[in-house]
């Protein structure tokens, strides 16, 4: 069969080369051997990969990591080197040689079937993210790797989505966390799944290369500190941009540093009568650094302005360079602040820009070049019309240990920030370091199994299930419901009784206006791999768009920051009755004396 005629695909290898068959816990190998030794390894088994509680004290989670998980399953295989390593492990000393040669070396996922939610979906506790079916041995060996691929990815994507919700759609969010991430893979994975969750760009060049995420960044404080003399600028000429100043016929500004100094003096004079924004001497080395950076990046100039004094030095120095660039036909991007009271600073900086623009334009002066700068031109200088739009077009970026709480407080207190660079709190998920997904056996040889616990939250819902999302008349999700295999599937406009999995008194009838099937076949080993129709749902941009779409569908009270309303997750009446009977059947009766 030609490739274009196939309806199932084998997927490429995982992005991370560490995602091998050995990326597992030792007890998975020992259990697999015990299954093999007792001839149970070929029994048909089903596992649910679920989580028990939404993270960050919220009431929703974003499902992520599926594409990489499917790539792992598609390429799952123990190599000869893997097996030789396992033979040397202490826990393997009692294992038969044939387990390695006749079982592990021949193992793959050609008999495994995986049903999954779409990546980027909004998901809820207890509803399986993945349902894995196949021979007990191989299905067991997939556990640890699937968990590590889903847990962190979903946690970061959820964290990013919450930051996006708090910031609003009009704010640019930049992921700046590589230097604070938990290792190399943590950094790259965080960049990927922060983008899925709603961030606009990353500072991580490797993540940009691998995944096509937009990469953004500016200079650090060290760049400003590294400059002290105007002689540090070896070439001060600047070619004019696409819109050179009116009245200038030459194509090159011969001495941009001089233009910057003159502009700063003119700015100081223009603001001399301002009661709020009159300023004295600024830090000259900072001005030199800004000038050097502008010469290097005239089209994308963005300055970090808090190295010495944000308002007294950094802001006027930036404005001087920005106005000089605008006179040369460029549009500087803006400023970044990395310390201090972000609300007060951003509002004050914006007011300074407005005042500078007003005063500079109204002064109607020209900055004159000296004879040695004219290069034979009879006209020189630039009209102050190039100050127009300065306040509106200058972006203010903040990056001072930003987290979800800070974003919320800034929104409440007011600010003039256009973009946030967020690092540590995002990539480390500081507010909650783990999601807590688990992988539980729910069926063996088509016989449902249940795990019991004194903690009801840890009791599993047995058997292979079908899962559906029921929508109300106005298009909002009402409830997720799980039903037993073989039960009648929910239908539009047909009433169904939905019950809390464990609390007898919590139940409600629902007549859905729309029914959405949640678990779709994502990997079909017996038929050759990932079904084409599911493969077409994969991809970073598709997952990112799905997050946006699904979050917008949710009721506001489910998404709110404080005391969000829990979303209802239920079971059918049939599954409720079956679960509780199996619970009684497996719970030993106590002896009283």
Crossing angle of helices 143-167 and 404-413, rounded to 10°:
10
Instruction: Dump the DSSP string for 81-115.
Output: HHHHHHHHSGGGTTS-HHIIIIIGGG--STT-EEE
Q: What is the pLDDT of residues 483-519, one digit of tens each?
A: 999 999 999 999 999 999 999 999 999 999 999 999 9
In 3-state terms, what secondary structure has residue 261?
Answer: helix
Give the per-residue pLDDT at 506.
Answer: 96
Other beta carbons within 10 angstroms of residue 217's beta carbon come to 15
CB atoms under 10 Å from CB of 358, counted, come to 17
Q: Write the DSSP string, 417-473.
A: -SEEEE-HHHHTTTT-S----EEEEEEETTEE-----SSGGGPPPPS-EEEEEEE-T
Partners of 397 in the β-ladder: 336, 419
Is the Cα torsion angle 78, 84, 87, 90 positive or negative in sign? negative
Write down how long the chain is. 593
Query: CB of 62 within 8 A of CB of 196?
Result: yes
The pLDDT value recorded for residue 5 is 55
Q: What is the pLDDT of residue 380?
A: 40
pLDDT of 63 reads 98
* C-alpha–C-alpha distance, residues 341 and 501, integer Å: 48
State pTM to two decimals. Answer: 0.94
Neighbours of 586 (CB within 10 A): 12
Low-confidence ranges of the chain (pLDDT < 50): 1-2, 244-246, 366-384
The span from the CA of 327 to the CA of 325, in Å, is: 5
What confidence score (pLDDT) does residue 243 get?
A: 53
DSSP string computed for 30-74: HHHHHHHHTT-TTSEEEEEEE-SS-STT-S-EE---HHHHHHHHH
Q: What is the largest CA-CA distance in the chain?
A: 112
Is the sign of the CA dihedral 303, 306, 312, 313 positive or negative? negative
Q: What is the pLDDT of residue 248?
A: 52
At 250 the pLDDT is 57
Task: Transcribe 364-391 into DSSP letters.
Answer: ----PPPHHHHTT-S-----GGGGTTHH
d(CA 266, CA 366): 9
For residues 436 and 147, the answer to whether their CB atoms sit within 8 Å is no
Q: Which residues contact 582 (CB under 8 A, 6 or more apart)?
A: 448, 450, 462
pLDDT of residue 364: 52
State how far the Cα of 559 lies from the Cα of 408, in Å rounded to an integer. Answer: 14
Backbone angles phi, psi at 155, to 5 degrees: -65, -45
How many C-beta atoms surround the C-beta of residue 551 within 10 A?
Answer: 20
According to DSSP, residue 529 is labeled B
Residue 363 CA: distances (Å) to CA of 276, 368, 376, 387: 18, 14, 27, 11
**pLDDT single digits (tens) 274-294:** 888 999 999 999 999 999 999
Tokens of 105: 């070396």
| Cα dist from 478 to 346, 508, 546, 565, whole Å | 41, 11, 19, 12
Give the model's pLDDT for residue 379. Answer: 37
Tell which residue, 466, 459, 503, has the closest CA to residue 481.
466
Angle between helices 66-74 and 143-167 (to 10 degrees): 160
Hey, how many other C-beta atoms are within 10 angstroms of the C-beta on 354? 14
CA dist., res. 366 & res. 382, Å (int): 6
Residue 401 region by backbone torsions, left for phi larger than 0, else alpha for psi between -120 and 50, else beta: left
Whether residue 554 contacts residue 477, with contact meaning beta carbons closer than 8 Å, is answered with yes
Cα 572 to Cα 482: distance, rounded to the nearest angstrom: 6
Question: Tell me, what's the pLDDT at 381?
Answer: 44
- Beta-carbon contacts of 57 under 8 Å, excluding residues fewer than 6 positions away, are none
Torsion angle in degrees (nearest 10) through CA of 226, 232, 236, 239: -40
Contact 450, 498 (CB under 8 A): no
């Amino acid at each position: 069969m030609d490739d274009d005629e196939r309806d199932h695909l084998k997927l490429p290898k995982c992005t991370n080369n560490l995602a091998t068959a050995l990326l597992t816990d030792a007890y998975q190998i020992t259990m697999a051997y015990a299954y093999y030794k007792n001839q149970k390894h070929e029994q048909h088994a089903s596992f649910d990969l679920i989580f028990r509680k939404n993270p960050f004290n919220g009431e929703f989670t974003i499902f992520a990591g599926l594409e990489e998980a499917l790539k792992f399953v598609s390429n799952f295989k123990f190599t000869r080197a893997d097996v030789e390593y396992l033979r040397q492990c202490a826990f393997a000393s009692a294992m038969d040689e044939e387990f390695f040669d006749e079982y592990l070396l021949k193992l793959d996922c050609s008999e495994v079937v995986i049903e999954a939610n779409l990546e980027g979906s909004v998901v809820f506790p207890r509803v399986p993210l993945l349902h894995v079916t196949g021979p007990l041995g191989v299905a067991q060996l997939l556990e640890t790797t699937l968990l590590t691929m889903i847990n962190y990815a979903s946690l970061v994507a959820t964290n990013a989505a919450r930051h996006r919700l708090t910031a609003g759609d009009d704010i640019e969010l930049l992921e700046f966390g590589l230097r604070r991430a938990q290792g190399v893979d943590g950094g790259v994975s965080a960049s990927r799944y922060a983008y899925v969750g709603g961030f606009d760009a990353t500072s991580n060049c490797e993540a940009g290369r691998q995944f096509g995420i937009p990469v953004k960044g500016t200079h650090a404080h060290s760049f400003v500190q590294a400059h002290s003399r105007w002689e540090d600028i070896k070439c001060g000429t600047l070619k004019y941009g696409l819109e050179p100043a009116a009245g200038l016929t030459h194509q090159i500004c011969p001495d941009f540093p001089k233009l910057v100094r003159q502009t700063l003096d003119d700015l100081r004079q223009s603001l001399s009568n301002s009661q709020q924004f009159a300023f004295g001497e600024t830090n000259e080395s900072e001005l030199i650094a800004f000038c050097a950076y502008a010469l290097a990046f005239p089209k994308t100039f963005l300055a970090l302005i808090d190295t010495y004094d944000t308002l007294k030095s950094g802001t006027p120095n930036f404005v001087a360079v920005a106005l000089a660039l605008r006179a040369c036909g460029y549009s500087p991007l803006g400023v970044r602040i990395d310390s201090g009271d972000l609300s007060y600073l951003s509002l004050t900086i914006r007011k300074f820009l407005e005042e500078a623009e007003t005063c500079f334009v109204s002064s109607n002066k020209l900055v004159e070049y000296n004879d040695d700068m004219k290069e034979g031109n009879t006209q020189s200088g630039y009209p102050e019309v190039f100050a127009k739009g300065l306040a509106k077009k200058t972006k203010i970026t903040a990056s001072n240990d930003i987290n979800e709480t800070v974003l919320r407080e800034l929104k409440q207190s007011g600010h003039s920030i256009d973009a946030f660079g967020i690092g540590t709190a995002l990539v480390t998920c500081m507010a909650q370091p783990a999601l807590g997904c688990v992988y539980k056996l729910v069926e063996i040889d088509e016989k449902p199994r249940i795990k019991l616990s004194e903690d009801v939250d840890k009791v599993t819902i047995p058997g292979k299930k079908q899962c559906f999302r029921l929508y109300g008349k106005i298009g909002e999700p009402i409830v997720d419901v799980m039903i037993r295999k073989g039960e009648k599937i929910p239908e539009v406009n047909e009433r169904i009784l939905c019950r809390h999995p464990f609390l007898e008194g919590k139940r409600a009838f629902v007549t859905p206006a729309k029914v959405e099937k949640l678990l779709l076949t994502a990997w079909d080993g017996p038929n050759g791999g990932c079904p084409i129709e599911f493969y077409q749902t994969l991809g970073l941009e598709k997952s990112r768009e799905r997050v946006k779409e699904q979050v917008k569908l949710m009721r506001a009270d489910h998404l709110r920051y404080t005391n969000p309303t829990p979303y209802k997750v239920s079971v059918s009446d049939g599954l409720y009755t079956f679960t509780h009977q199996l619970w009684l059947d497996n719970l030993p009766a106590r002896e009283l004396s």
